[in-house]
């Protein structure tokens, strides 16, 4: 009896320790970035063009570039991913082919991001002749986050109770009506969760935009989707490794802006999701 | 009597499970047919065959013939068939919508958009299901706020709003208390005038109370079908007698 209590205490200690070990690095990263980045943050830093070879001035074009890329990738990936998820979870029969497709989607999520970059370079930049452009970058990032969106959307759709579908069908609604009016509205929170995950990933990745869109130094805003753009993660890489004598606070300031930007986008999505969840009544 | 459904030598499989075996029977217009039998006797499979919900299951296979108003049901457009054959499920299953939207759902899906017309359909359907008085002041609240018995009557109203000819009840009172059960049964008896009703029930007494005819299923076979009085007083098959008197089941 006494022994089992002691075992429990030891187990509890290690479980707690493991949890703590996860929290510590996250906390440290945030603290360090804020501490070192805050001094750089001012209005000029956020709204100005980079100057003196990125050693001074602001990071405005990189912020705008990242926002364009994230919105662009969601624009491509969300509709396609959602439609594919609907097909896979609602329409497709469980046979060898669909099982292969599902497996492929799961595996696609594990492909290293630099491979997506190379793929985007070959397909969009070279083959479709979009050049290094926001369009190419968005498409590449879109493909990268597709598996995340498909997988989470499928889970969301499949979590809607089957009885709702049966009720709707039994009233003579067609399958599409059932999906449109019953299944989808109840799956939206889960779909948004996937979108949030995809969003954060698209904003933070460097490798996929390396060959497809990112400009090393472009102190102006992109004029069209066929224009190159700066982006925060790549800019951070550049000023940290490629340009000598960049003030540390500029580097950490850039990291902080990237972090806040992703957090802000997540926040918006979380609020939307919360609004939908509130309406959910089962 | 008008034959509504004519079932001939119907066999149904789900994979290796032979759920219905050589079923042949008729269902008449404007009758309440009770279907009784222990669990796994194929009652629900039989019911879900009439509106073709079984087809959603994996590895479903059918052999034999069912006609609805002399038309082969497998050849009738499935949405049209289900519009004509409504279903009330075992558990109250409101959709995650308001009371009004639940009842109006079917009508909306069939293209009715006029608000006045929808309001009229909803009121009529709720009245027929004896729920109108209880909910008329809170039609826009969530259907989940209703009690279990009210939810089940809401489900009946939702079915009626589509204006079907047949209503299938799948153990509609299995989750309800006696008072709610009595209300649902009362609704059923009144509905008989305008609708054909097939009632699958685990409650033998319920079958006796509301059924014009009663069918007894056992292990996927129809053992006996006859007037309810006869089934309950002098059944032909010993197994029917044993089930009704509670020797097994």
Question: Which residue in the block uniquely carries the two structure tokens 């491979």?
Answer: A115
Q: Does residue A170 sit at the B interface (CB-CB below 8 Å)? A: yes
Q: Is residue B249 part of a domain?
A: no
Superfamily in which the A41-279 domain is placed by CATH: MetI-like (1.10.3720.10)
Each residue's pLDDT tens digit, A100-131: 998 999 898 889 999 999 999 999 999 999 98
Q: What is the pTM of this model?
A: 0.83
**Number of domains comprising chain B:** 1
Q: Does residue B158 sit at the A interface (CB-CB below 8 Å)? A: yes
**Taking 70 as the threshold, does the pLDDT of residue B84 lie above it?**
yes
For A184, phi and psi rounded to 5 degrees? -60, -50
Each residue's pLDDT tens digit, B179-232: 889 988 988 899 988 999 999 998 899 999 999 999 999 999 999 999 999 999
Mutation target among A172, A186, A281 for the B interface, most CBs of B within 10 A: A172
**Taking 70 as the threshold, does the pLDDT of residue A281 lie above it?**
no
Each residue's pLDDT tens digit, B154-184: 999 999 999 999 999 999 888 788 888 998 8
Q: Please give the residue range of the domain that contains residue B120.
A: 3-244
The shortest CB-CB distance from B82 to any of A163, A169, A280 is to: A169
Q: For residue A1, what pLDDT band results from cuts at 50, 70 and 90?
A: low
| Domain map (residue ranges) of chain A | 2-39, 41-279
Q: Is residue B41 part of a domain?
A: yes
Q: For residue A279, what pLDDT band results from cuts at 50, 70 and 90?
A: low
Q: For residue A243, what pLDDT band results from cuts at 50, 70 and 90?
A: confident
**Taking 80 as the threshold, does the pLDDT of residue A54 lie above it?**
no
The interface pTM score, or ipTM, of the predicted complex is 0.90
Q: Do A280 and B96 touch (CB under 8 A)?
A: yes
- CB contacts of B51 in chain A (<8 Å) are 170
Q: Does residue B60 sit at the A interface (CB-CB below 8 Å)? A: no
Looking up residue B103, the CATH number of its domain turns out to be 3.40.50.300
């Amino acid at each position: 009896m006494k022994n089992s209590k002691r075992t429990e205490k030891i187990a509890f200690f290690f479980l707690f320790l493991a949890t703590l070990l996860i929290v510590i690095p996250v906390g440290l990263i945030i603290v360090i970035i804020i501490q070192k980045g805050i001094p750089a943050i001012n209005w000029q830093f956020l709204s100005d063009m980079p100057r003196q070879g990125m050693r001074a001035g602001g990071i405005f074009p990189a912020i705008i570039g990242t926002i364009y890329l994230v919105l662009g990738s969601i624009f491509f990936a969300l509709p396609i991913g959602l439609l594919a998820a609907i097909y896979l979870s609602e329409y497709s029969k469980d046979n060898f082919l669909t099982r292969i497709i599902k497996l492929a989607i799961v595996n696609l999520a594990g492909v290293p991001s630099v491979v997506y970059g190379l793929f985007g370079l070959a397909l969009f930049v070279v083959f479709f002749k979009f050049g290094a452009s926001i369009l190419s970058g968005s498409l590449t990032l879109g493909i990268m986050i597709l598996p995340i969106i498909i997988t989470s959307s499928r889970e969301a759709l499949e979590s809607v109770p089957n009885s709702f579908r049966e009720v709707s069908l039994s009233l003579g609604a067609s399958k599409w009506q059932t999906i449109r009016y019953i299944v989808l509205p109840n799956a939206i929170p889960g779909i948004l969760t996937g979108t949030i995950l995809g969003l954060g990933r698209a904003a933070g990745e460097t490798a996929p935009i390396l060959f497809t869109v990112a400009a090393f130094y472009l102190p102006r805003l992109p004029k069209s989707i066929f224009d190159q753009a700066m982006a925060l993660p790549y800019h951070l890489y550049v000023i940290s490794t490629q340009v000598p004598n960049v003030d540390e606070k500029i580097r950490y300031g850039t990291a902080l802006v990237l972090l806040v930007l992703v957090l802000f986008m997540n926040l918006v999505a979380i609020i939307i999701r919360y609004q939908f969840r509130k309406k959910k009544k089962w | 009597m008008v034959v509504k459904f004519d079932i001939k030598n119907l066999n149904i499989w789900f994979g290796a499970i032979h759920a219905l075996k050589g079923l042949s029977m008729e269902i008449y217009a404007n009758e309440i047919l009770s279907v009784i039998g222990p669990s796994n006797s194929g009652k629900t499979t039989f019911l879900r065959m009439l509106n073709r919900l079984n087809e959603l299951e994996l590895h479903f296979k059918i052999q034999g013939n069912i006609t609805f108003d002399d038309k082969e049901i497998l050849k009738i457009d499935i949405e049209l068939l289900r519009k004509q054959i409504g279903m009330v499920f075992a558990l109250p299953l409101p959709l995650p919508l308001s009371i009004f939207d639940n009842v109006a759902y079917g009508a909306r899906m069939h293209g009715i958009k006029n608000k006045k017309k929808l309001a009229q359909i909803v009121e009529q359907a709720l009245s027929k299901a004896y729920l109108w008085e209880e909910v008329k002041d809170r039609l826009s609240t969530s259907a989940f706020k209703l009690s279990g018995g009210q939810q089940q009557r809401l489900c009946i109203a939702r079915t009626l709003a589509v204006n079907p000819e047949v209503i299938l009840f799948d153990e509609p009172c299995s989750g309800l208390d006696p008072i709610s059960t009595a209300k649902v049964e009362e609704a059923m008896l009144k509905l008989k005038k305008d609708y054909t009703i097939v009632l699958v029930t685990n409650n033998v007494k319920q079958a006796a109370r509301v059924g014009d005819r009663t069918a007894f299923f056992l292990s996927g076979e129809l053992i006996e079908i006859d007037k309810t009085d006869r089934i309950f007083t002098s059944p032909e098959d010993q197994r029917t007698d044993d089930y009704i008197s509670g020797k097994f089941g």
